Chains A and B, each alone.
Chain A
Amino acid sequence: MRVLKLNSVTVNYGKYSAVRQIDIEVSEGEIVVLLGANGAGKTTTFKTISGLLKPTGGTVNFEGAPINGKSPDRIVQAGIVQCAEDRKLFPQMSVQQNLMMGGYIHRSKKTQLKESLKEVYELFPILYDKRDESARLLSGGQQQMLAIGRALMAKPKLMLLDEPSIGLAPLVVEQMFTSIQHINKDGTTILLAEQNANAALSIADKGYVFENGRIVIEGTSEELFSNDEIRKAYIGA
């Protein structure tokens, strides 16, 4: 079943078009990756899906219904949660309080929140050990885990992950992608923006390559892996 469909979406910042007429399709249970350099339009696309930006043209459909024009909190309630780039946390709150903020839309369902909290701690045991510590004292990798854990607390059907590997040590990146795969196997569809094409394509079902706000290549992971241009530009082999 198709979960998300972007139909010829264009987003402008003033006169400048950040993305131009892009089409993206994500089916249930997939991991889909958006590849591209900084400023190619990946984050703009994410912000448009999550309602933080309004498209100038085109439509965004989620589970068959248009969501462009809905407010961001409505979109989260519909089941799309964005895990923001730069691992933005609430530094003055504890790890657990950060996670509870992620469960904001389920705030009245206390037992469900406890259950979700348990699941996140099972996925990232280090967060349980540090649950009462201030979020600002976490390492980069732990902060990323917390950001992902916080997004999971909302029980999303579709999770948008914006460059989760940025600035992390290679070993931590590997762990991160294993966790992402794990989340996906538990039933969350994932749309991933990455520059680390090698790691991303190894877990993704398909990918889209962004250049200057346009999608230039799309295909399954195998197709993209075997594409010479992509190997040269993003994998470096």
Chain B
Amino acid sequence: MSSIFTKKNTVIALIVLAFVIPFVLQNQYYLHVLTLACIWSIAVYGLNLLAGFTGYLSLAHAGFFAIGAYSLGLLTVKAELSFWLAFLVAPIITMIIGTFVGIIALRTKEHFFAIYTLCVGYIIYLIIDKWDSLTGGVRGLIGIPSPANIGPISFDTPLSQYYFVLVVTLLCILMVYRIVHSLTGRTFIAIRNSEELALSLGISTAKNKLLSFVLSTFFAGVAGALYGSFIRFIGPEISYTTIMFDFLTYLIVGGIGTLSGPIVGTFLIVLLSQNLQFLQDYRMLIFGPLLTLLIIFSPRGIVGFVLTKYHQHQRKTSAVLKDARAKEG
């Protein structure tokens, strides 16, 4: 039985489920929520690369998300660039700004890094909010186009948009998977473990930390650009700290430093908060204590908890097998 539930089969089953779920649900509102959850999870994957795998908790992530969204918005609405070109350029702009911020921010460490990036995030918010002539200020940016047609494929229905976002999400997850399992990914983990040890192995920690930072802004930029084209209206509040702490909550609940944590956490909380909407802001009375308990009893989130239990189980069975073999022999 257990052979059916291999990692590969589970992943394939989940992907198939993601593709057929719109036909099962038949509910436009849920489709909208699922699409949004996909977009958020891309941003959370970016945050995970830096905070989870490299050990640098950046609190400017919502800022970079907004830079991605506003880049797409400004390029399409004000510069009248074609959608696909803007969609390509938006993450690049985010990465360029990310590089400059990273060079300065990474001179600090630990809580100083978190505080510094929190300030950067707030500055990004202020710039978007106050630079009226460029960003439209509090009025926001209206009329961002949906993805343009590719040949016969159009993206003007919620269903087609869901599929478009889903494909991009899967590509992003694949990218993160490849990064984490490459030498680059292990270099990030080495830095998280001990920067001094990484240095003494000849790893240029400065270069690799910057790489991780810029990659994380790339995913924030992609998520932002998708958000802009999906919602088609953006305001300065998308760069606000509440969004930042939403990202962080998704990551911590799902499992910081795990591969499936971002998607598990994001979907779980987004769907849960949709179902608890009748409670309005009192939802936080439930989330707050739950989050506290989770951090105390499973600092690596739900995925971390499951993985630990799974490894314990494996070790036990292999020990039992060894004993049995020893008795036979």
A residues near B (Cβ < 8 Å) are 50-52, 71-73, 76-77, 81-82, 84, 88, 90-93, 97, 100-102, 104-105, 107, 150, 154
Would you call B187 and A76 a contact (CB within 8 A)?
no
Given the complex of chains A and B, what is the CA–CA distance between A84 and B186 in angstroms?
Answer: 19
Q: Which residues of A contact B201 (CB under 8 A)?
A: 76, 81, 101-102, 104-105, 150, 154
Q: Mark B181-200, 1 if CB is under 8 A from A, else 0.
A: 00100110110011011011
B residues near A (Cβ < 8 Å) are 183, 186-187, 189-190, 193-194, 196-197, 199-205
Would you call B200 and A81 a contact (CB within 8 A)?
yes
Which of A72, A92, A107 is in CB contact (< 8 Å) with B199?
Answer: A72
Beta-carbon nearest neighbor of A105 in chain B: B202
Smallest beta-carbon distance B152→chain A, Å? 45
Would you call B186 and A82 a contact (CB within 8 A)?
no
Known: A101-B186, A104-B187. A73 touches B197 (CB 8 A): no
Smallest beta-carbon distance B314→chain A, Å? 11
Which of A71, A88, A93 is in CB contact (< 8 Å) with B197?
Answer: A88
Pick 6 A–B contacts, CB within 8 A, sort by A: A71-B199, A90-B189, A92-B189, A101-B190, A104-B183, A104-B201
Q: With A72-B200, A77-B202, A97-B186 given, can you name 11 additional A-B contacts, CB distance below 8 Å?
A: A50-B200, A51-B199, A72-B199, A73-B205, A82-B200, A88-B194, A88-B197, A93-B186, A100-B183, A104-B183, A104-B187
Would you call B189 and A154 a contact (CB within 8 A)?
no
Would you call A71 and B186 a contact (CB within 8 A)?
no
Which of B183, B200, B205 is in CB contact (< 8 Å) with A76?
Answer: B200
Known: A97-B186, A101-B186. A90 touches B203 (CB 8 A): no
Would you call B202 and A154 a contact (CB within 8 A)?
yes
Which of B183, B190, B197, B204 is in CB contact (< 8 Å) with A84?
Answer: B197
Beta-carbon nearest neighbor of A76 in chain B: B202
Main secondary structure, interface of B, reads helix
Q: Which residues of A contact B204 (CB under 8 A)?
A: 71, 73
Would you call A52 and B187 a contact (CB within 8 A)?
no
Would you call B203 and A104 a contact (CB within 8 A)?
yes
Would you call B190 and A81 a contact (CB within 8 A)?
no
Would you call B186 and A73 a contact (CB within 8 A)?
no
Beta-carbon nearest neighbor of A93 in chain B: B186
Smallest beta-carbon distance B282→chain A, Å? 39
Given the complex of chains A and B, what is the CA–CA distance between A101 and B194 in angstroms?
Answer: 13
Given the complex of chains A and B, what is the CA–CA distance between A164 and B205 in angstroms?
Answer: 26
Smallest beta-carbon distance B106→chain A, Å? 15
Known: A84-B197, A88-B194, A100-B183. A73 touches B203 (CB 8 A): yes
Beta-carbon nearest neighbor of A134 in chain B: B311
Q: Which residues of B contact A76 (CB under 8 A)?
A: 200-202
Q: Which residues of A contact B193 (CB under 8 A)?
A: 90-92
Smallest beta-carbon distance A133→chain B, Å? 11
Q: Which residues of A contact B190 (CB under 8 A)?
A: 90, 101
Q: Which residues of B contact A72 (CB under 8 A)?
A: 199-200, 202
> By CB atoms of chain B within 10 A, which of A73, A105, A107 has the most?
A73
Given the complex of chains A and B, what is the CA–CA distance between A150 and B186 in angstroms?
Answer: 14
> By CB atoms of chain B within 10 A, which of A76, A77, A81 has the most?
A76
Given the complex of chains A and B, what is the CA–CA distance between A52 and B196 in angstroms?
Answer: 7
Which of B183, B189, B202 is in CB contact (< 8 Å) with A73?
Answer: B202
Beta-carbon nearest neighbor of B184 in chain A: A107
Q: Which residues of A contact B189 (CB under 8 A)?
A: 90, 92-93
Known: A88-B194, A93-B189, A101-B190. A52 touches B202 (CB 8 A): no
Given the complex of chains A and B, what is the CA–CA distance between A214 and B190 in angstroms?
Answer: 34
Smallest beta-carbon distance A88→chain B, Å? 5
Given the complex of chains A and B, what is the CA–CA distance between A134 and B187 in angstroms?
Answer: 17
Given the complex of chains A and B, what is the CA–CA distance between A97 and B197 in angstroms?
Answer: 15
Given the complex of chains A and B, what is the CA–CA distance between A2 and B125 in angstroms?
Answer: 59
> By CB atoms of chain B within 10 A, which of A50, A82, A90, A93 has the most?
A90
Given the complex of chains A and B, what is the CA–CA distance between A150 and B201 in angstroms?
Answer: 9
Given the complex of chains A and B, what is the CA–CA distance between A81 and B186 in angstroms?
Answer: 19
Smallest beta-carbon distance B277→chain A, Å? 39
Q: Which residues of A contact B199 (CB under 8 A)?
A: 51-52, 71-73
Smallest beta-carbon distance B201→chain A, Å? 5
> By CB atoms of chain B within 10 A, which of A91, A102, A107 has the most?
A107
Smallest beta-carbon distance B304→chain A, Å? 12
